[in-house]
Chain A
Amino acid sequence: MSVIFLLIPLSIVIATAFLVAFIWSVRSGQYEDTCTPSMRLLLDEKRPEATKNLTPTRNEHER
């Protein structure tokens, strides 16, 4: 049963990693608006046709 001496600390390390991720997400304002992201999700399907008055800039590392 002594393997649990390995499993629990290891799991605590991972859980703390996710805690740090939680802190970063709250600090960086991910949850300021908890309603619009669910609506914005529905919008990426709409592909506006190429517009003439916008000269697209080629992004360097995009093929």
Chain B
Amino acid sequence: MQTQSLDANQGVPAGAVSPEAPACFHCGTLCRGSIFQRNEKPFCCAGCLTVFELLTENGLSDFYQLGQSAGTRINPAPAGQFHYLDEPAVRERLVDFANDRLTRVTLHLPAIHCIACVWLLENLFRLNPGIGQSQVNFPRKEVAISFDNSQTKLSEVVSLLASLGYEPELRFSDLDTKPKRFASRRLWLQLGIAGFAFGNTMLFCIAHYLGLDTFSGPAFQKLVGLLSLGLAIPVVAYSAADYWRSAWVSLRQRLLNIDVPIAAGIAALFAQSTYEVVSGHGVGYFDSLAGLLFFLLCGKLFQQKTYDRLAFDRDYKSFFPLSVMRKTVRNEERVALAQLHLGDRLILRNGELIPADARLVEGPAVIDYSFVTGESEPVEKRAGDYLYSGGRQIGGAIEVETVKAVSQSYLTSLWNQEAFRKDEGARLNQLTNRYSQRFTKMVIAIALGAAVFWAWANPALSVKAFTSVLIVACPCALALAAPFALGTAQRVLARQNIFLKNPYVTETLADVDAVVFDKTGTLTAASAGSVTFHGAPLSETEERWLYSMTRHSTHPLPVRIGEAIARAHFPEPVCSFLETPGCGMEGSVAGHEIWMGSVAWLEGRGARPIGALRAEGGSPSPRPSPPGEGGTLPARGHLDADGLNGNPVCGSGVHVAIDGRYRGCYVLASALRPEADALITNLSPEYDLALLSGDNEKERHRFAHLFGADLHFNQSPLNKLAFIRQLQGAGKTVMMVGDGLNDAGALKQSDVGVAVVENIHAFSPASDVIMAAPMVPRLNDVLRFAKQSVRVVRASFLISLAYNVVGIAIAASGHLSPIVCAILMPVSSVTVVGFACGLTIWLGRRQGLGEPATQNNRAELEFGAPAEALT
């Protein structure tokens, strides 16, 4: 396990490098370049050498016998890297337990990989006297260290570990995992007691099966009966405690959950057995009672383990599609939220979300907390103030330093927040709630019926039938099939960079029968290379100004312009930056007023475009346009296809004015997405399609053969909203596919709002689905997959129903012993859930959604800008 090896900048080169480089004695990597020598053992870097000395000095040289070159490569950590750990606030969150004399901390060391590490980490008290007991948990790669406050500090302990090559991965967010361990411990205890009682009472009962009564008559039978009763009491009291409590809670709220019948069954069995033993009429069913609970608890443990495993990879990181620009010593790099560390410097542009509580470093910040608190009036913040995560920056880019770790779960909960909730839970969910109530009532009715019938026909069977009916009935499949199947579907899509807000979106996706497309950014692919400037050539400094302006906005057009003209420019600070959606942005760089946006907005601001540029009908500009497509000047905001030299490039332009004087416009050519035609053609038979676009009529003919009548241009966001409401009025389930920025309202109104994003840095809460641009052509597969997932849920309902009907019938007939029921019940619920998840995954693979998105791999998308733009 080697981290990237840093080139050893200094060190004592010892002799010529042997042709085949020797392996470092400490960590086993081949030492290229200079080799460090210490009592004729080669070392690849100073780090390994220092660790070797440290160990040998402290008598820990056995480390090298235990594991062959078991050390890990050490990159020399800058001094004081862990000082921040000593701050009480941070320290409090990391430490398990602390009193004035002693502190105990559990650290996660990913570098633990062999017995030598366990040995070394459990002998830490030799290296730092302050450390007392250190205990390694190998499977979890954790070490629990208790140290004496007076002799050493947390930062010293952590830097010692780092110096040995075991740098701890400091995770602040997983404090909630601790209590889970105690819960499972309680389950193990209950299981142990139930097993103990089941084992012993079963042996008593075997004595009865083998003809005990003939020999010793009542005396011994009484003893065995009383002992079984004695053993059954702890089982019923302690092992069944959870069932009693949940049954009691649900009864108090006068609704019946699935534990009520089980509790009733246990009570009945226990009561009857006690009566039989005390009155001496029989021997009671204590062995099947203990067995019943033993297998119920085994089922519960097994269920718990399978659900944990299923839920394991559903952690929130993969669902919250947001990356952020991080300032590093050399430049800025776009990183995913997961890579963020405490104390990182982030650059937030206009409209970007503050991922974690942070401190404002520089730049005037206007924070809009509408997303979090709902009130939309933005708040002024000065450098040094504390910013809460969830707010959005309005205006120029600001720089912040994170103080708290990123809490992904919090951000995702914002996404599912009330303000953006569509109609409450989908129909499937209502289905489960309604039926589970009725189901439990039905089960109890049948059980009572069976008991009464058998009491009349064959009394011995009545309790047995009553209990087994109660136990065998298992509505869990009803409650669990929907969330698990849809949850798996959500995860399958997430792996394809299609992020759903919550599992139930899949269900509405399945009901969609009308699809409305937005043109720009959805059906047309904005290819970066085709940004050209038309107008008076700009000087180097002016271009730099424009570049720094573009860096403050998240609108796709200025962002692409910024990337195109980035070259070696170094951004300058922009003050009083303001961006108005749908019009443009303005700000002043180094004292010059700069406006960028649509022509109409510039005219409104009094920037007189130079006469020639203004000419109608796209007359050629006097000066030759710079290389590239070039072509005539835009007549109005947008170049239409025929205006250019014939190739079907259409694009949108961003007009620039410096200090009030119009200077020209950037034209961004965008072509139709490659498989867009194929997508539309195979969508059209099943769905009514429509295209809404804010642009002018220019491109009508290109889409006419695809969309037929439903073509609407020059649609303002309000028109789009009205169109969708009108469609919904006609009883259609509408899916709106747009770039989620200027048509947020329409997305919110539609049943399923799909926001197509080029690189996920902007985040529009109004959408239900965030889809990566390259996946748009696969929309048809996604819809079909959603339909199949819903069909899987219905299938599992049917299976569960069949199981229950058959199970209850046999149980009512008295042939099924409670123990067998106790085994059947957990097995049935696990198989139904397993069936639901497994089938969904298999269907996903059949739709070609199986293997992760290859053409633009996840990491690259996670980092936002397409690969080649990364410096």
Q: Which residues of A contact B (CB under 8 A)?
A: 1-2, 4-5, 8-9, 12, 15, 19, 22-23, 26-27, 29, 31-33, 35-36, 39-40, 42-43, 46, 48-51, 53-54
Verify if B129 is at the interface (C-beta below 8 Å from A): yes
Q: Would you call A39 and B189 a contact (CB within 8 A)?
A: no
Chain A: minimal CB distance from B238 (Å): 10
CA–CA, A6 and B331, complex, Å: 84
Please determine whether B118 and A51 come into contact, CB atoms closer than 8 angstroms: no
Pick out which of these stretches binds chain A: B59-67, B384-392, B583-591. B59-67
B3 within 8 A of A: no
Task: Judge whether A35 and B139 touch: CB under 8 Å.
Answer: yes
Is B223 on the interface with A (CB-CB < 8 A)?
Answer: yes
Does the CB pair B60–A12 fall under 8 Å? Answer: no
Complexed CA–CA distance, A15 and B204 (Å): 14
A19 in contact with B193 (CB, 8 Å) = yes
Q: Could you tell me if B118 and A43 are in contact, using CB atoms closer than 8 angstroms?
A: yes
> Ordered nearest first, which 4 A-B pairs have the shortest CB separation?
A46-B62, A48-B59, A51-B59, A36-B138
The answer to the question of B312 belonging to the interface, with a C-beta cut-off of 8 Å to chain A, is no
Chain A residue nearest to B112 (CB atoms) is A36
- What 0/1 readout, one digit per residue, does chain B (129-145) give for beta carbons within 8 Å of chain A? 10000011111100000
Considering only CB atoms and an 8 Å cut-off, how many residues of chain B contact the other chain? 36
Is there contact, CB below 8 Å, between B227 and A19? no
**Chain B residues in 8 Å Cβ range of A2:** 216
A43 adjacent to B223 (CB under 8 Å): no
Complex-state Cα separation, A54 to B126, whole angstroms: 7
Nearest CB in chain B: distance from A1 CB, A: 6
- A57 nearest CB across to chain B (Å): 11
CB pair A26 B189 closer than 8 Å: yes
A-B contacts, 29 of them at CB < 8 A, read A5-B219, A5-B223, A8-B223, A12-B200, A12-B230, A15-B196, A22-B192, A23-B189, A23-B192, A26-B189, A29-B185, A33-B137, A33-B138, A33-B140, A36-B118, A36-B135, A36-B138, A36-B139, A39-B118, A40-B122, A43-B115, A46-B62, A46-B119, A48-B59, A48-B60, A48-B126, A49-B59, A51-B58, A51-B126
State whether the Cβ of B220 lies closer than 8 Å to any Cβ in chain A.
yes
A48 & B216 in contact (Cβ 8 Å cutoff)? no
* A23–B224 alpha-carbon span in the complex (Å): 25
Q: CB-CB < 8 A to B82: which residues of A? A: none
**B188 within 8 Å of A (CB atoms):** yes
Q: Nearest-CB distance from B208 to chain A (Å)?
A: 14
B215 cross-chain contacts in A, Cβ below 8 A: 1
New contact pairs (17) apart from A48-B62, A51-B58, CB-CB < 8 Å: A1-B216, A4-B220, A9-B227, A12-B230, A29-B185, A32-B185, A36-B118, A36-B136, A39-B115, A39-B138, A40-B122, A43-B118, A46-B66, A48-B58, A50-B59, A51-B59, A54-B129
Closest B residue to A34 using CB positions: B139
Which B residues fall within an 8 A CB radius of A? 58-60, 62, 65-66, 115, 118-119, 122-123, 126, 129, 135-140, 181, 185, 188-189, 192-193, 196, 200, 215-216, 219-220, 223-224, 227, 230-231
CB distance from A5 to the nearest CB of B (A): 6
In the bound complex, CA of A1 to CA of B310 (Å): 56
Is A43 touching B137 in the complex (CB atoms < 8 A)? no
Give, as a whole number of angstroms, the nearest-CB distance from B290 to chain A.
Answer: 13
- B216 A12 Cβ-Cβ under 8 A: no
- Chain A residues with CB under 8 Å of B123's CB are 48
Q: Are B188 and A31 interface neighbours, CB within 8 A?
A: yes
B421 CB to nearest chain A CB (Å):
41
- Residues of B with C-beta under 8 A to A40: 118, 122, 136
B227 and A36 contacting across the interface, CB-CB below 8 Å: no
> Which of chain B's residues has its CB closest to A43's CB?
B119
In the complex formed, the residue of A with least CB distance to B182 is A29
Among candidates B62, B66, B136, B185, residue contacting A26 with C-beta atoms closer than 8 Å: B185
- A26-B189, A49-B59, A54-B129 known; A19-B196 Cβ under 8 A: yes
Complex Cα–Cα for A15 and B234 (A): 14
| Chain B, Cβ-Cβ closest to A42 | B115
Q: How far, in angstroms, from A31 to B187 measured CA to CA in the complex? A: 13
Identity of the chain A residue whose Cβ is nearest the Cβ of B63 in the assembled complex: A46
Chain A residues whose C-beta falls within 8 Å of the C-beta of B119 in the assembled complex: 43, 46
Tell me the complex Cα distance, A8–B207, Å.
13
Cβ distance A46 to chain B, nearest Cβ, rounded Å: 4
Contact between B220 and A5 (Cβ–Cβ < 8 Å)? yes
Q: Which residue of B lies closest to A23 (CB)?
A: B189
Q: Report Cα–Cα, A32/B185, bound state, in Å.
A: 8
Q: What are the residues of chain A within 8 A of B192 when measuring CB–CB?
A: 19, 22-23, 26
Docked Cα-Cα span, A35 to B181, in Å, equals 16
If A9-B227, A43-B118 touch, does A36 touch B58 (CB 8 Å cutoff)? no
* Bound CA span A31–B181, Å: 11
Nearest Cβ in chain B — how far from A58, in angstroms? 16
Please give the distance in Å from B301's CB to the nearest CB on chain A. Answer: 14
Complex CA distance for A48 and B61, rounded to whole angstroms: 8
In the assembled complex, the CB of B675 is this many whole angstroms from the nearest CB of chain A, namely 51
